[in-house]
Structure 1
């Protein structure tokens, strides 16, 4: 692209982009560092804001834009009308293209910033322990993810959680420890022990305090928890409830491969089993998923859990590879064939 056009395009985005940045944008686009879909999505949201940078050409026709460009293009002895028309189109499109380049590089920078986060991912059927730079300890349950910045503990102690984790937070009154989850739910602590369960597909987010004190909040509410208290946030109904429990340590039974159920549906239990044992579970009829269970299971294996479920309810299960299907028991008496 001629130097004169670069200069003019720079004027289209005055106060927002330099000549050096212009070349970098062009290079970034040419090297296809981002997809067209990313550009289109971002462009749809940002184009209106970007229009202010097109001054003094905003709102002008293609012909007027062309006249401005023509002043900066070396003139040959003769240019045919078709050539003029073609250059007018190029001139009018070029300004839009530069905005695309600018937005594209913004997306690239955003993506690079995200990549700079430190991420701990735990697959189905696995657990993990993490010591954070500030000395705090985290235990992650199956199918969980923890994200935090490389400078964690310096300016702030904010982490992002998807899934379930137990936190043993190192005390620092001058730098609160904050756990952010989906749906705007977060917990803030100074030095304490607590458990957060926040799986994307679960209906509720729960926070259980074991020691110390934490503040749990969403845009809709804020509550202070004391030991042996639990907050339950319904992400669909946008409601919450705080309750006192007999033993908060039951919330971390998962750390020792134990289960505790409190009026939980089989559908909820199935999601937990899927994460813990890396299986998939289905139901022969929808009403099976709504059966409720309460109790504890210790020293369990997957088969032990499945057997106990079918013992206390009229259900049976079949296993095909890594897939489990619950169905109702067939209690019809067998028809005997007389011996001859």
Structure 2
């Protein structure tokens, strides 16, 4: 694609004017080079922040007309980002110079901070704005060094519990994952987005969050889904064998989305979703395949189950402060027709034919 085509496609994608073929072209361009992905992510975040500040002032038709001439992907990195700042200002149709995020990027080379919780461990951190974050085993949290100043955006790979500190309305707290973006409107929520899981899940304890698809998700045109207290939103990347009913109240454009579940949870059962930070594991009708992934991360082991029927066996139970996986497996074995062997960090689970 030449420069003019890229300009046009980026504008159409951001303003949701792109057709299916154009969406594929944009995604191919973004994935072609890490800098392309970074450029788009920063532009998209600026667009989202502008929407949050004053969504009514944005006329997407006018924005589309004015947006294109500014972008020039072949310019140097910082000049490109600076121009994208001006793009955001044009889109918003008002001169909020103090909100020029990309200009800040252009003038100050940013470094990325990363905090990780290794398999077998949990880590608690306090961000510079006072937000508390618990990272579950095998999770990573990334954020820029200027976090809390011009932005409160983080990138999560894995699972985390967020207790958001109050902040300025002009600087919302945003959690980016590979497939979805979560905007905090409340105070406490759990977010699960492991790369090897086939679903995205967020659970709101207090407050409210808004969820929408991002560039890596085919459902990029999904309406925002608002998740309220004691609700769980689960979106499957690939629909599972079992079908669930989802009846949205006010979203009518979800026919082409991956399968969605919105569940209301009793307050007494919330530990199924956030108990891990207090060393509590709760399984409520989960398959052994699902449980195995949790145990692998929790105890830093490799679990092998070659039998597909075995993986689909369901189990319910809770474990608190259980130090060794052998004790967990012994309890599961006492209630389920399984057997297992442990060799080092490798566990082989088989059917108990006796």
**Under TM normalisation by the shorter chain, which class is it?**
0.5 to 0.7
Note if contact 2:272-2:284 (Cα within 8 Å) is conserved in structure 1.
no
Where 2:272 maps in the other structure, the secondary structure is helix
- Residue equivalent to 1:289: 311
Cα shift at 1:208 = 0.4
1:159 paired with 2:154, answer: yes
Where 1:317 maps in the other structure, the secondary structure is strand
Cα shift at 1:295 = 2.9
- Residue equivalent to 2:101: none
- Residue equivalent to 1:51: none
- Residue equivalent to 1:264: 286
Q: TM-score, normalised by structure 2?
A: 0.60
Cα shift at 1:114 = 10
Show structure 1 runs of 5+ residues with no match.
1-40, 46-102, 332-340
* Separation in structure 2 between the aligned mates of residue 209 and residue 216 of structure 1, nearest angstrom: 12
Cα shift at 1:233 = 0.8
Cα shift at 1:175 = 1.4
Q: 1:150 to 1:308 in 2, by over 3 A?
A: same
1:300 paired with 2:322, answer: yes
Where 2:154 maps in the other structure, the secondary structure is strand
**CA deviations over 1:210-236 (Å, ceiling 9, x no partner):** 111111222224221221111001112
Cα shift at 1:304 = 1.9
**CA deviations over 1:305-337 (Å, ceiling 9, x no partner):** 101211111111000111000011231xxxxxx
* Separation in structure 2 between the aligned mates of residue 114 and residue 307 of structure 1, nearest angstrom: 53
Cα shift at 1:290 = 1.3
* Separation in structure 1 between the aligned mates of residue 170 and residue 116 of structure 2, nearest angstrom: 29
* Separation in structure 2 between the aligned mates of residue 232 and residue 114 of structure 1, nearest angstrom: 37
- Residue equivalent to 1:4: none
Q: TM-score, normalised by structure 1?
A: 0.62
* Separation in structure 2 between the aligned mates of residue 329 and residue 125 of structure 1, nearest angstrom: 28
Note if contact 2:271-2:282 (Cα within 8 Å) is conserved in structure 1.
no
- Residue equivalent to 2:297: 275
Q: 1:115 to 1:267 in 2, by over 3 A?
A: farther
Note if contact 1:126-1:142 (Cα within 8 Å) is conserved in structure 2.
yes
Could you list the runs of 4 or more consecutive aligned residues of structure 1 that deviate by over 3 angstroms after TM superposition? none
Q: Where in structure 2 are the equivalents of 1:101-250 lying within 5 Å?
A: 116-172=111-167, 173-183=169-179, 185-218=180-213, 219=220, 220-237=222-239, 238-247=258-267, 248-250=270-272
Note if contact 1:145-1:161 (Cα within 8 Å) is conserved in structure 2.
yes
Show structure 2 runs of 5+ residues with no match.
1-31, 37-73, 82-107, 214-219, 240-257
* Separation in structure 1 between the aligned mates of residue 347 and residue 199 of structure 2, nearest angstrom: 24
What root-mean-square deviation, in Å, do the aligned CA atoms of Structure 1 and Structure 2 show? 2.7
Note if contact 2:110-2:144 (Cα within 8 Å) is conserved in structure 1.
no
Note if contact 1:118-1:150 (Cα within 8 Å) is conserved in structure 2.
yes
